[in-house]
Amino acid sequence: MNLISYAIAACLALLFSISSAPALEINKAFADLTETFEQMQKVVREERRALVEKNMQLNETEGEKFWPLYDQYRGEIDKVNSRLYTIITDYAAAYPNLTNRDAQSMLDEWLTIQKKVLKIRKDYVAKFRRVLAQRKVTRFYQVENKLDAIMNFDLARKIPLVE
């Protein structure tokens, strides 16, 4: 797989997890693809929301309270996750000649992102509990986990291991 194909494939997988429209920060080597990534991001945002809507089975009253909170939650998650674009495109630009320093920096950044996402998820549990019954809150987090697992599987499949 050539460098551009790798970057596109990995970023497509990542787009599935990012539903809002944070500013994309990608490696300069892929700057000409920014518009393509942003267009795909819009489509994926709509698809993710539709999947959540289908699986949550909210009544009208629940939906009125849930969706504004969901949008706020996804906005925060997406802002943090958008930093993955930088890691993926930096990795693609450096692959297969990644230095130890680059590898350390990318791993440290990835771990920081994971911590921040977990903190946001924990912080929102109480907020979602104020607008939904606990069973629906749990269902929401299950849906989110499944969507993220699909994305992570796709990323793992497409991103080659460090040489």
Q: Are 92 and 6 a contacting pair, CB within 8 Å? A: yes
Tens of pLDDT, residue by residue over 100-157, are: 999 999 999 999 999 999 999 999 999 999 999 999 999 999 999 999 898 888 888 8
pLDDT of residue 7: 53
pLDDT of residue 42: 76
More confident residue, 34 or 160: 160
pLDDT at 61 over 80: yes
Q: Are 45 and 20 a contacting pair, CB within 8 Å? A: yes
**Which of 3-7, 52-56, 82-86 reaches the highest mean pLDDT?**
52-56
Angstrom distance (rounded) from CA 55 to CA 51: 6
Residue 41 falls in which region: left (phi positive, over 0), alpha (psi -120 to 50) or beta: alpha
Band (71; pLDDT cuts 50, 70, 90): very high
Nearest residue to 53 (alpha-carbon basis) of 69, 40, 41, 66 = 66
pLDDT at 58 over 50: yes
The kind and range of the H/E element at 31 are none
Q: Are 29 and 93 a contacting pair, CB within 8 Å? A: yes
pLDDT of residue 20: 47
pLDDT of residue 31: 66
Angstrom distance (rounded) from CA 139 to CA 55: 8
User: pTM for the whole thing?
Assistant: 0.79
Residue 18, helix vs strand vs coil: coil
Residue 67 falls in which region: left (phi positive, over 0), alpha (psi -120 to 50) or beta: alpha
Tens of pLDDT, residue by residue over 5-33, are: 555 555 555 544 444 445 556 677 666 66
Distance set, CA 58 to CA 40, 62, 132, 152 (Å) = 27, 6, 9, 27
More confident residue, 59 or 41: 59
- The distance of Cα 98 from the centroid of its chain, to the nearest Å, equals 24
